A and B are shown apart, each in its own frame.
Chain A
Amino acid sequence: MPTAEEIRAEQYLAPETLVQLAPFELRAKMIIEGVMSGMHRSPYQGMAVEFAEHRQYAVGDDLKHLDWKVFGRTDKLYVKRYQQETNLDVILLVDASASMTFGSMVVPRGWGRTTVGGAGRPWTKYDHAAALSAAIAYICLHQQDRVGLYVFADGLKTILERTSVHDQWRRVVAALSRETAEAATDIVKTTDQVLGRVTNRALFVIVSDFFEAAESVRHSLARFRHQRHDVILLQTLDRQEMRFAFNQAAPFEGMEAEGTLQVEPRALREAFLEAISGHCNTIARAARSFGFDHQLLDTHQSVGPTLAYLLARRDAFLRRSKVG
């Protein structure tokens, strides 16, 4: 008999999404230090199963790594080098600030229930972040990786330690559904707290609207980069935030205590979109400058295709760079 949390987790991870993500794998773009054998490159080479490269023999090399076939054809001594493969620590950093509770779309049938309330409530960015987290956790767990969850706002609020147990994704959803979105975002502080806890290289998936100063985001990414972590930025925005399609003057009340502003939205639409586009571009450029992936997501779109695109793009990148 599944618990209520399990039912809720199933609703966030729709079968359709799983079908869409089934062909993909989430692979680390950098060498990681796993504790178990897995599908990801390890900094440790030698006795692994995956050939890496040839190197000329040097005095002192173990003769068992000589490639005799090459020696037979060329009379030259080459030593085989192998890439050790390990598992991946995927840490989901989910933004639970107050701004993440915005949503303009009533939950469609089959999308599950939101974290905020019952049916008929809007599908918030936090809901979308939960769905993303569940999907990523499911993929990672399926490829034997460890998945952990850090929920943050103006600091770390909830921590779900990394594990590769099969139902870890359900725990992730349960943890997210228990969390209440409130307060403002402090990504710098959160970064400090997170990096203080993670000592090995890991893949961080930050799911947030990044409604914070772009410089702070850049500063945090720099910290991740410095620690040689891989980061995926999933910037989740509601479609209304991307379109700003209001057509009547109304007071707009900030969700993070910015106050209330009476505006004519059509008059400010262009300026608003320019501002938010500029911010998103700045975030994207910052991520790109550190070699991180940045994905802008529309909460009115289903999770599956977006994640599939992300995974496919990473896979393609790894194939082209012949690193993977």
Chain B
Amino acid sequence: MTLLTPGLAVGGLVSIIIPLVVHLLSRRRRRPIEWAAMRFLIDAFRKHHRRLRLQQWLLLGVRCLVVAVFGLALARPVLEQYAAPGFASQRTVFIVIDNSLTSSLTEGDGRSALDRHIDRAVEIVNVLNPGELVGIVTAARPAVGLLLPPSSDHASVVRLLRTLRPSLTPCDLAAALTVLQNAVDSAAAEHDRQVCYLLSEFRTGSARTVEPLPALSIEAGTDMQLLAAPPASESVPNVRVTSVEPMRRLLLTGAADISGQVRINLARTGGGLPADVSRIRLAGPDLPQMEPQLVHWRAGQMEATTSVALQPGMHGDREISLTATIDDDQLQADNASHTVVTVRRAIRVLLLDRREHGVESPIDRFSGGQWLWRALQPVAGGPVEVYRIEPAALTQADVRTVDVVILPRPDLLTQAGWETMRAFVDHEGLLIVLPPGDASIHEWTARFTDELSLPWRVGLERTDHPEGLALAAVQPAGGILQMISADLADLVRPVVAQRRLPVYPGELDGESALVFQDGSPMLLVGRPRQPEGHLGREEAGGATDGQAATRGLVVLSTVAPELSWTNLPSKPLMVPLVHEIIRQGLSEIWGERRYLVGERPVLPAATGNLAGPGGERLLIGEDRRPVTPLRRPGLHRLLDRAEQQTALVAVNVDPEAGNTDTQSPQVVSSWLGASGPWQVFDADNPGSALRTAGGNRSIAGLLLILVLLLVVLETILARRFSYAYQAGVGEVSGGLRPTIEEHPHRSSLRAGPRETLSALSAGGSRPGGAP
């Protein structure tokens, strides 16, 4: 039996003093009555004092019991129903625990939020009756049914709960609810009542209220109760390194020394955001030791960025790992961020163009391939190595060692060549496609978009613009041309196009790097879609995203780099444009090798093994994903089947997961409300809901009835034992009678002795007889 309000029970027990005091006061000394017939009173007392004492104790006991039981009833006791192990219990309790990154937040008592969640979960489990089932779902990405199907071994459940540790991933409550839904559906057939607890602080990092939750479908006739913990009300200050972003992820050393800039982005949440200072250190295996940089936070400032100069030196092709860290705070997992910068001496480019034989054409008749050839290698010894192959002769081996494929004659590519291109792109290749300048009908466009699963709709026939179509003065910011964005306006101004391939507006699914004045794209950047059935990059609770992008990048130019199409080849934009496309395209591709903890990313095809930060090997499945999600932040090494490192990848904590801002109960309630009728339970007494509703039966009503019966019994006993039912003075009947009573005989006595004698004779009594 458990008491919901034990204080009242204690009060009831203490109130037993009341009848005792009343009893003692009733025994206070009264004025003694002088009594002559004491010997008979003593005789009577001796005969009955045992019975009288028993009656008094019985009466006192009943009165004490009345007070005690009444106090107990007010304490709302609940009686746990016994269910023998092995028999179906009446309830199944599912506990969804938020063990995400913010659950490791420590407060003043040194205990983390997860510790408190576990304590509440243990308290909930302890309230359950033997035989009732408990299932546990952890909500940190990836959401896992930690204990499903539910178990009735409560001791093991508690032990399992005690082993829980905060994850480094954000909370994926949507996936957790999906897992919960599946578990509830499985249990609904066996148990008529389910109670789902959601233990979370609902900080911004763990409860992204902008992302809708799936609605829990509760079968008709199923008694299901959804109980959520109250949102945290206390903000905890936290500074996190959201990202480390080199200005160029690809550093081409060429013949000269190189340098670069690294931007370190910080964010802070929680608390009152007072003025503060953070120290940032940037470190890497190949970097000299740097002095910490200070970031001065203004009051209320939430984000900050600082730049650090990077001079890796010339040591050949390699990958440089960079790690930015800040001082420890109350959430330490997000105090570091990692990234990788690729240092290459040169970029290998494959130009798929028709080989020219004989005398070289004059410059005004240069084909696109020829212009590109020159643009790629404007000077000897540049950072780009160009190979040229006939498109029709393309094989898989030709693209295996190159970084970029430029296709100025897609019309000459065979079907196998397109398949090779697709494979190349899927293997982190950069494909640049340009229309052939001498074709007016471009049948290749259909094969191009189909084979590369591109959503673009490119027209088959070029459109002519004799008056010339200029590029827009304001070009899209960022993207693949961001490094030359400062000069881009000047560079695009003299460029005019007379022909172009139409790409229909509204059907683009990519980035327009350059646009004409009419808004139509000149340069499109996009990623091929993954065919149906392929696992995507994101995974949530086993769900797949078939539309996730692959690693490679496709760039489509809607104009051929020929003077018959545009004057671009002869303008200053040509060379930086080609080089930026190549360098930034590869940067973007290789920059994608940044994973988040908790993900199961699709790894490059050549990856045979994945080594963690500590050198531990992570198994890779047939789907080219790690069998288990990435759990540790840091630098991971991609290894080929010969255990040779092919790439270095950075695994970071999701920066948004460390947002420690609190959210209002209304916002959280509204957000949760989309998934079901969640109710907030009492955080100090999470088991009370189980006691008051469900298997535990409150016996307060029974106790109140018992109190009533005891009161009636007390009244009867009190009346009986106090002999109050007996008449008082002046009402007493019975007792000893004198020989003659005054009233009956008074008249006869006054009548005289003769009449009295007659009366006596008639009565038959005789002198000397008994009274």
Interface residue ranges, A against B (CB under 8 Å): 20, 23-24, 29, 98-102, 125, 209, 211, 235, 237-238, 241-256, 258-264, 266-269, 271-277, 279-281, 284-285, 287-288, 291-298, 301-302, 304-306, 308-317, 319
Q: A245-B735, A273-B736 are in contact. List 19 more A-B contacts (CB 8 A).
A: A99-B36, A99-B37, A235-B771, A241-B736, A242-B735, A248-B30, A250-B30, A258-B38, A275-B40, A284-B769, A293-B768, A295-B739, A297-B738, A309-B756, A310-B739, A311-B753, A312-B756, A313-B760, A316-B767
A-B contact pairs, 14 of them (CB 8 A): A102-B36, A241-B36, A242-B738, A243-B732, A247-B728, A250-B33, A252-B32, A263-B41, A266-B722, A271-B45, A284-B770, A293-B768, A308-B753, A313-B766
Secondary structure class of chain B's binding surface, majority of residues = loop
In the complex, A298 Cα to B55 Cα: how many Å? 34
Q: Please give the distance in Å from A265's CB to the nearest CB on chain B.
A: 8
Query: Contacts of B741 on A, CB cut-off 8 Å?
Result: 298, 301
Would A102 and B35 be within 8 Å (CB), given that A267-B52, A296-B738, A316-B760 are in contact? Answer: yes
The answer to whether B770 and A309 have CB atoms under 8 Å apart is no
Query: Contacts of B38 on A, CB cut-off 8 Å?
Result: 252-256, 258-259, 261
Query: Contacts of A273 on B, CB cut-off 8 Å?
Result: 734-736
Query: Contacts of B753 on A, CB cut-off 8 Å?
Result: 23-24, 308, 311-312, 315
- Which 7 pairs, one residue from A and one from B, show the smallest C-beta to C-beta distance? A266-B723, A254-B38, A271-B44, A102-B36, A317-B767, A99-B36, A242-B736
Query: Contacts of A242 on B, CB cut-off 8 Å?
Result: 735-738
In the complex, A235 Cα to B724 Cα: how many Å? 31
Would A255 and B35 be within 8 Å (CB), given that A242-B737, A266-B724, A316-B760 are in contact? Answer: yes
In the complex, A253 Cα to B729 Cα: how many Å? 19
The answer to whether B729 and A247 have CB atoms under 8 Å apart is yes
The answer to whether B757 and A315 have CB atoms under 8 Å apart is yes
Binds A, one of B118-126, B634-642, B743-751: B743-751
Q: Please give the distance in Å from A231's CB to the nearest CB on chain B.
A: 10
Query: Contacts of A247 on B, CB cut-off 8 Å?
Result: 726, 728-729
B43 contacts the other chain (CB 8 A): yes
The answer to whether A280 and B771 have CB atoms under 8 Å apart is yes
Q: Please give the distance in Å from A204's CB to the nearest CB on chain B.
A: 14
In the complex, A70 Cα to B43 Cα: how many Å? 66
The answer to whether B44 and A264 have CB atoms under 8 Å apart is no
Query: Contacts of B722 on A, CB cut-off 8 Å?
Result: 264, 266-267
The answer to whether B721 and A267 have CB atoms under 8 Å apart is yes
Q: Please give the distance in Å from A11's CB to the nearest CB on chain B.
A: 20
Out of A246, A305, A310, A319, name the residue touching B33 (CB < 8 Å): A246
Out of B34, B728, B740, B768, name the residue touching A253 (CB < 8 Å): B34
Query: Contacts of B745 on A, CB cut-off 8 Å?
Result: 305, 309
Q: Please give the distance in Å from A124's CB to the nearest CB on chain B.
A: 9
Query: Contacts of A99 on B, CB cut-off 8 Å?
Result: 36-37
B752 contacts the other chain (CB 8 A): yes
Q: Please give the distance in Å from B474's CB to the nearest CB on chain A.
A: 108
Residue among B730, B761, B769 with the highest chain A CB neighbour number at 10 A: B769
Would A276 and B36 be within 8 Å (CB), given that A243-B735, A266-B722, A306-B738 are in contact? Answer: no
Query: Contacts of A301 on B, CB cut-off 8 Å?
Result: 738, 740-742
Query: Contacts of A274 on B, CB cut-off 8 Å?
Result: 44
In the complex, A258 Cα to B735 Cα: how many Å? 23
Kindly supply a per-residue 1/0 record for chain B positions 37-54, scoring 1 wherever the CB is within 8 Å of any chain A CB and 0 otherwise.
111111111011000100
In the complex, A241 Cα to B40 Cα: how many Å? 10
The answer to whether A317 and B768 have CB atoms under 8 Å apart is yes
Would A254 and B35 be within 8 Å (CB), given that A264-B52, A295-B739, A317-B767 are in contact? Answer: yes
Out of A272, A293, A313, name the residue touching B41 (CB < 8 Å): A272
Residue among B35, B42, B724 with the highest chain A CB neighbour number at 10 A: B35
Interface size class of B (residues with CB under 8 A): 35 or more
Query: Contacts of B736 on A, CB cut-off 8 Å?
Result: 237, 241-243, 273, 276-277, 280, 296
In the complex, A126 Cα to B42 Cα: how many Å? 23
In the complex, A102 Cα to B35 Cα: how many Å? 7
Q: Please give the distance in Å from B214's CB to the nearest CB on chain A.
A: 75
Query: Contacts of B222 on A, CB cut-off 8 Å?
Result: none
Query: Contacts of B30 on A, CB cut-off 8 Å?
Result: 248-251
Interface residue ranges, B against A (CB under 8 Å): 26-27, 29-45, 47-48, 52, 55, 721-724, 726-732, 734-742, 745-746, 749-750, 752-753, 756-757, 760-761, 765-771
The answer to whether A244 and B735 have CB atoms under 8 Å apart is yes
In the complex, A297 Cα to B771 Cα: how many Å? 9
* Nearest neighbor of A273 in chain B, beta-carbon distance: B735
In the complex, A298 Cα to B736 Cα: how many Å? 10
The answer to whether B767 and A293 have CB atoms under 8 Å apart is yes
Query: Contacts of B730 on A, CB cut-off 8 Å?
Result: 245
Query: Contacts of B770 on A, CB cut-off 8 Å?
Result: 281, 284-285, 288, 294
Query: Contacts of B726 on A, CB cut-off 8 Å?
Result: 247, 266, 269
In the complex, A101 Cα to B34 Cα: how many Å? 10
The answer to whether A268 and B35 have CB atoms under 8 Å apart is no
The answer to whether A275 and B43 have CB atoms under 8 Å apart is yes
Out of B29, B39, B52, B766, name the residue touching A251 (CB < 8 Å): B29
Q: Please give the distance in Å from B273's CB to the nearest CB on chain A.
A: 77
In the complex, A192 Cα to B492 Cα: how many Å? 157
Would A269 and B32 be within 8 Å (CB), given that A249-B26, A280-B736, A308-B749 are in contact? Answer: no
Residue among B741, B768, B769 with the highest chain A CB neighbour number at 10 A: B768
Query: Contacts of A237 on B, CB cut-off 8 Å?
Result: 37, 736, 738
The answer to whether A258 and B39 have CB atoms under 8 Å apart is yes
The answer to whether B39 and A305 have CB atoms under 8 Å apart is no
Q: Please give the distance in Å from A229's CB to the nearest CB on chain B.
A: 14
In the complex, A315 Cα to B757 Cα: how many Å? 8
Out of B731, B732, B746, name the residue touching A305 (CB < 8 Å): B746
Query: Contacts of B732 on A, CB cut-off 8 Å?
Result: 243-245
* Nearest neighbor of A293 in chain B, beta-carbon distance: B768
Q: Please give the distance in Å from A83's CB to the nearest CB on chain B.
A: 21
Query: Contacts of B742 on A, CB cut-off 8 Å?
Result: 298, 301-302, 305
Residue among A235, A306, A319 with the highest chain B CB neighbour number at 10 A: A306
Query: Contacts of A287 on B, CB cut-off 8 Å?
Result: 768
The answer to whether B738 and A288 have CB atoms under 8 Å apart is no
In the complex, A310 Cα to B757 Cα: how many Å? 11
Q: Please give the distance in Å from A300's CB to the nearest CB on chain B.
A: 8
Residue among B47, B721, B722, B753 with the highest chain A CB neighbour number at 10 A: B753
The answer to whether B746 and A317 have CB atoms under 8 Å apart is no
In the complex, A238 Cα to B36 Cα: how many Å? 9
In the complex, A285 Cα to B732 Cα: how many Å? 27
Query: Contacts of B771 on A, CB cut-off 8 Å?
Result: 235, 280, 284, 294-296
Residue among A263, A297, A312 with the highest chain B CB neighbour number at 10 A: A312
Query: Contacts of A271 on B, CB cut-off 8 Å?
Result: 43-45, 47-48
Q: Please give the distance in Å from A108's CB to the nearest CB on chain B.
A: 12
Out of A20, A248, A261, A284, name the residue touching B749 (CB < 8 Å): A20
Query: Contacts of A280 on B, CB cut-off 8 Å?
Result: 736, 771
The answer to whether B757 and A316 have CB atoms under 8 Å apart is yes
* Nearest neighbor of B52 in chain A, beta-carbon distance: A267
Q: Please give the distance in Å from A120's CB to the nearest CB on chain B.
A: 17
In the complex, A272 Cα to B727 Cα: how many Å? 16
The answer to whether A211 and B768 have CB atoms under 8 Å apart is no
In the complex, A92 Cα to B753 Cα: how many Å? 24
Query: Contacts of B724 on A, CB cut-off 8 Å?
Result: 266
In the complex, A160 Cα to B738 Cα: how many Å? 29
The answer to whether B37 and A308 have CB atoms under 8 Å apart is no
* Nearest neighbor of A288 in chain B, beta-carbon distance: B768
Query: Contacts of B767 on A, CB cut-off 8 Å?
Result: 29, 293, 313-314, 316-317
Query: Contacts of B26 on A, CB cut-off 8 Å?
Result: 249
* Nearest neighbor of B770 in chain A, beta-carbon distance: A284
Would A125 and B42 be within 8 Å (CB), given that A237-B736, A277-B736, A305-B742 are in contact? Answer: no
The answer to whether A261 and B768 have CB atoms under 8 Å apart is no
The answer to whether B42 and A258 have CB atoms under 8 Å apart is yes
Query: Contacts of A288 on B, CB cut-off 8 Å?
Result: 768-770
In the complex, A241 Cα to B722 Cα: how many Å? 20
Would A241 and B757 be within 8 Å (CB), given that A284-B770, A296-B738 are in contact? Answer: no
